Amino acid sequence: MLPVLGALVEGKELVETVIAATLAGVGVTFAFAVAIWGYGRSLELGGEERRLAAGLAAAVGALALLVVVGSIVAGIVVMTHK
Amino acid sequence: MGSDIIIVIVVGTALAFDFTNGFHDTANVVATSISTGAARPQVAIAVASLLNFAGAFISISVAATVAKDVVDADVITPTIVFAGLIGAIAWNLVTWYFGLPSSSSHALIGGVVGSAVAAAGFHVIIAEGLVGKVLVPALVAPLLAFLVAGLSIGIAYRVIGHQRPGVVSRGYRYGQLLSGGLLALAHGTNDAQKTMGVITLALIANGNLGPEANPPTWVIICSAAAISLGTYSGGWRIIKTTGTRIIKMDAAQGFTAQGSGAAVILASTHFGFPLSTTHVINGGVMGAGAAKRLSAVRWGVAGNIVLAWVLTLPAAAAIGALTYGVTRLFGTGAVGPVVVTLAALALIAAAFVRRAQRGAPVPVTEGGGR
């Protein structure tokens, strides 16, 4: 059964899709969660007058947000090049 | 003259299918944004409509590939395409009536397969294409989206676990504007092309275009406009199912379902293993809910959706075959398609009159209520 299915399905594309989708999906969601964490922590630490730590948290959040925006741009590039 | 009438009917029917594709699949794009309150319903739908329109112009590379991998392209005639489209439209309307998010692409493929089989027999089916390009992706899409969304939301909850709920909720709502926008663009790119492909196929079969022709500009504009108008009309019944009936969604789950869904769709596009937007986004919604708590998913609703997915190909094929049979009762000319079109329009008009007599539906309100 499996060899027959293997002959019908383009296995390489399937495996590549599963790996890339998992990495991209988890990666983008993780990056956005870090962006929110960074923003939230910077607010908390700023309220405690810990300005350096607040700045660092904000920077981590901003970097993560850049990753998300970069992923969206990459997504649009994928659409235009298919 | 007769063939020109058939072509006009096929183009009109293809654009009608594109319209139903738009309002049927609107839910895929906007349901999670609406149900979490990330965007007001009319705003979400208007933006999705514009992005669907824009998405249709991004690429036309797959426009000519509709159904050619699953049926022998040599047997395709404008009448077969017409009957297939009627099968797809009918199944889209049935599933819309019951609020079930099923794949418009599968309905189109099923319709064309059914009408081609009715015209020339079962040997026209390309089994490798049907299994490899349609059936296996139909199985992979929801499972992959389910797993990716489930894994993603688990990680996201760990990262944001100790943050203030207000910050988290607001952040994810803004995020949904991005993820929803990307999903709408991807949907326009994928689905408007199918209509372009069908119209181009019919024009080639009728001799109006050369065998290797790309879709003419008027076909691209009309297809983009039809799916965009359909999206703007909004399929509220399916929006309600995807947005509120499968799980009660928070903003993080909404973002994760959309973000994971967009990632799965774009990855599959990039590696040439195209997956259904409908299957992906609904699998993602179920995964985002199940990862939080298995009982958070209304499995009865999920089961009905899966049943609709299973039935889509055979049901659309049966309607396509029946339609082809009816058109052939009137010979090979334009009379059959004209009669079927008039009958379909009469049925739709009767349904609208009946609905108007019952009273207008109550629009979906912000937060997903109805």
Question: Cβ separation of A75 and B266 shorter than 8 Å?
Answer: yes
Rg (CA), chain B: 20
- Model confidence at B366, pLDDT cuts 50, 70, 90, reads very low
For residue B67, what pLDDT band results from cuts at 50, 70 and 90?
A: low
A51-62 mean pLDDT: 94
pLDDT mean over B32-37: 83
**pLDDT tens-place string over residues B270-304:** 777 778 888 898 899 899 888 888 888 888 888 88
What pLDDT, on the 0 to 100 scale, is given for residue B362? 45
| pLDDT computed for residue A25 by the predictor | 92
Q: Answer whether residue B368 shows pLDDT above 50.
A: no
Instruction: Reduce the DSSP state of residue B161 to 3 states and report it.
Output: coil
Tell me the percentage of chain B whose pLDDT exceeds 70. Answer: 92
Query: Three-state DSSP class for B363?
Result: coil
Per-residue pLDDT tens over the stretch B147-188 = 999 999 999 999 998 888 888 999 999 999 888 888 888 887
Tell which B residues from 61 to 90 touch A, by Cβ distance under 8 Å: 61-62
Query: Which two three-digit tokens encode residue B86?
Result: 């009627």
Instruction: Determine the residue of chain A that is closest to B185 in CA distance.
Output: A76
Mean pLDDT of B121-130: 88
By three-state DSSP, how is residue B125 classified?
strand
Interchain proximity B136–A72, CB inside 8 Å: no
Average pLDDT over residues A66-82: 86
Residues 6+ away with beta carbon under 8 Å from B358: none
**Range of weakest confidence among B61-65, B179-183, B233-237, B327-331:** B61-65
Beta bridge partners of B71: B125
Instruction: State the pLDDT confidence band at B59, using cuts at 50, 70 and 90.
Output: low
Give the distance, in angstroms, between the CA of residue B111 and the centroid of all CA atoms in the same chain: 14
pLDDT band at residue A11 under the 50/70/90 scheme: confident
Residue A31, pLDDT score: 95
* Residue B60: per-residue pLDDT: 59
Q: Find the distance separating the first CA and the last CA of chain B, reported in whole Å.
A: 49
Q: Measuring CA to CA, which residue among B282, B233, B250 is closest to residue B102?
A: B282
> Which of B344-351's residues contact partners 24+ apart within 8 Å by CB, and which partners?
B344/B86, B344/B89
d(CA B191, CA A65): 30
* Structure token pair of residue B52: 């669907």
Predicted confidence at residue B118, as pLDDT, reads 95
Highest mean pLDDT among A74-78, B109-113, B157-161, B314-318 belongs to B314-318
- Kindly state the percentage of chain B with pLDDT values over 90: 28
pLDDT at position A67 over 80:
yes
Please provide the distance, in angstroms rounded to a whole number, between the alpha carbons at the two ends of chain A: 32
Query: Which residues, in sequence order, are CB contacts of B174 under 8 Å at separation 6+?
Result: B38
**Is there a contact between B273 and A14 if contact means CB atoms under 8 Å apart?**
yes
What CA–CA distance (Å, rounded) separates B336 from B347?
17
CA dist., res. B20 & res. B85, Å (int): 11
How many Å apart are CA B31 and CA B245, to the nearest integer?
Answer: 11
- CB pair distance less than 8 Å for B155 and A9: no
Measured between beta carbons, the chain B residues lying within 8 angstroms of A4 are: none
Q: Please state, in angstroms and rounded to a whole number, the distance separating the CA atoms of residues B246 and B240.
A: 9
Q: Are B270 and A20 in contact (CB < 8 Å)?
A: yes
Residue B229 structure tokens = 């108008």
Token pair listed for B123: 């040997």
Question: Which residue from B minimizes the CA distance to A32?
Answer: B175
ipTM of this predicted structure: 0.86
- Residue B65 is predicted with a pLDDT of 55
Work out the average pLDDT over B54-75. 70
Determine the pLDDT at residue B61: 55
Q: Which of B270, B207, B164, B9 is nearest to A24 (CA)?
A: B270
Asked if pLDDT for residue A7 goes beyond 80, the answer is no
Amino acid residing at B367: G
B71 φ/ψ angles, rounded to the nearest 5 degrees: -135, 155
Residue with tokens 């190909």: B313
pLDDT tens-place string over residues B133-143: 788 888 888 99
Report the C-alpha gap between B112 and B110 in whole angstroms. Answer: 6
Report the alpha-carbon distance of residue A3 to residue B16 in Å, rounded.
Answer: 41
Q: Strands, E, within B19-158: which ranges?
A: none
Percent of chain A residues past pLDDT 70, beyond the cut? 87
What three-state secondary structure class fits B249? Answer: coil
How does pLDDT run across B84-118, given as a tens digit for each residue? Answer: 999 999 999 999 888 888 888 889 999 999 999 99
Which of these, B16, B43, B44, lies nearest to B242 by C-alpha position?
B44
pLDDT at A39 over 90: yes
Q: What is the pLDDT of residue B359?
A: 57
Q: What is the pLDDT of residue B157?
A: 92
